[in-house]
Amino acid sequence: MKVLLVYAHPEPRSLNGALRDEALKELEALGHEVQMSDLYAMGWKSEVDRADFPPLAPDAQLMVAQASSEAFAAGALTEDVKAEQEKMLWADVLILQFPLWWFSMPAILKGWVDRVYAYGFGYGVGEHSDQRWGDRYGEGVLAGKRAMLIVTAGGWEEHYSDRGINGPIDDLLFPINHGILYYPGYDVLPPFVAYKVDRLDQRGFDEVASRLRKRLQTLATTSPIPYRRQNGGDYLIPSMRLRPELAPPGATGFALHLDSQEPIAKARHKCVEPAE
Ligand SMILES: Cc1cc2nc3c(=O)[nH]c(=O)nc-3n(C[C@H](O)[C@H](O)[C@H](O)COP(=O)(O)OP(=O)(O)OC[C@H]3O[C@@H](n4cnc5c(N)ncnc54)[C@H](O)[C@@H]3O)c2cc1C
């Protein structure tokens, strides 16, 4: 397979740097072709501004989605953004690797998403009608490809467990896994998370590296997180709310969007909400 590793850590001699090297070695040993975007080493520009949209007239008001749509359609996005989009189209698997900073990704990686996911590429894809709400959440430009996070965290695994004070890790990563990766179509594999890493000794490192290598060995076969598909009949259009019969009354939270409730009888027929 072809793998794109997008890596966000400022220090090559860090734990993340060492895990990245392990990952690259393992992926190559497995026969995968690999490209890496090392965002700090590339000096990646993380903020979106008018320089991202060369066709925009100097006196025109910047409306980001519109400028993004026009520049993407004209093939006139900046060369750094176009190069990342080409790598994403090339790769069968996208891996995002980062340390958990403030319960999310470092700003430089968020800025990679903000700039590379142009309108027409990462969002704003497909037709909106009374049967569909665009091509997103399982459909889109990147459908058929796989994606996975490699994350290191200072906190303990228990702190990120179901009743842990930090909140469950699957909830914290939901905006990335579901909102950034599933949205443009990726099948999202369960994340690889290394916890309690700040005082890791050699033995701890060897354990983490071994666990990472094993995960990479099953990149092609690991079952994706079973997110519900937007246009699969589970959501009412246009409210995009989960159909009432698919979860108990009062149920809330991100887990609603997991299609792991089988064999709950599911009415797969298209249902259109009456207009108000
Ligand atoms: C701004 C900021 C925000 C943060 N927010 C959060 C948060 O919200 N939640 C949370 O849980 N944590 C948080 N943290 C902690 C952060 O997630 C960890 O510090 C980070 O994941 C560690 O990864 P690193 O690559 O920077 O590790 P490093 O600091 O480089 O290394 C960590 C440990 O691994 C050892 N090590 C490194 N390389 C090797 C090697 N090759 N062999 C053996 N041992 C090695 C080091 O000696 C060190 O003990 C935050 C940290 C920062 C700076």
Same domain, 20 and 41: yes
| 260 has pLDDT over 90 | no
276 pLDDT band (50/70/90 cuts)? Answer: very low
Same domain, 154 and 49: yes
User: 88 C-alpha vs ligand 1 centroid, how far in Å?
Assistant: 27
Looking at residue 267, what is its pLDDT?
34
User: 139 C-alpha vs ligand 1 centroid, how far in Å?
Assistant: 35
* Residue pointed to by tokens 């965290």: 153
Looking at residue 232, what is its pLDDT?
92
Same domain, 144 and 194: yes
Locate 33 and state its tokens: 């072709």
Q: How far is CA 212 from CA 18, 49, 209, in A?
A: 12, 37, 5
CATH number for the domain spanning 214: value is 3.40.50.360
Q: What is the mean pLDDT of residues 148-156?
A: 98
Q: Which domain holds residue 101?
A: 2-224
Looking at 205, 224, 243, the residue that finishes a domain is 224
Same domain, 119 and 159: yes
User: 13 C-alpha vs ligand 1 centroid, how far in Å?
Assistant: 11
Same domain, 87 and 190: yes
What's the pLDDT tens digit per position in 174-203? 999 999 999 999 999 999 999 999 999 999
Same domain, 130 and 239: no
Same domain, 30 and 160: yes
Q: Report whether 268 contacts 235 (CB < 8 A).
A: no
Same domain, 68 and 34: yes
**CB-ligand 1 contact for 14 (6 Å cutoff):** yes
DSSP lists the bridge partners of residue 128 as 133
- What's the rounded Cα separation, in Å, for the pair 188 and 202? 31
Share above pLDDT 90 across residues of the chain, in percent, rounded to a whole number: 92
Residue nearest to atom 38 of ligand 1 (CA): 15
Looking at residue 128, what is its pLDDT?
81
What's the pLDDT tens digit per position in 4-59? 999 999 999 999 999 999 999 999 999 999 999 999 999 999 999 999 999 999 99
Q: What is the mean pLDDT of residues 140-149?
A: 98
Same domain, 80 and 214: yes
Number of domains in the chain: 2
Question: What is the residue-averaged pLDDT of the chain?
Answer: 94
- What's the rounded Cα separation, in Å, for the pair 249 and 22? 46
Same domain, 173 and 252: no
User: 162 C-alpha vs ligand 1 centroid, how far in Å?
Assistant: 23
- What's the rounded Cα separation, in Å, for the pair 110 and 169? 18
User: E strands of the chain, at which residues?
Assistant: 2-7, 33-38, 93-99, 146-152, 187-188, 192-194
Residue nearest to atom 32 of ligand 1 (CA): 198
CA triple 128-132-137, angle to 5 deg: 100
Looking at residue 66, what is its pLDDT?
98
Looking at residue 271, what is its pLDDT?
33
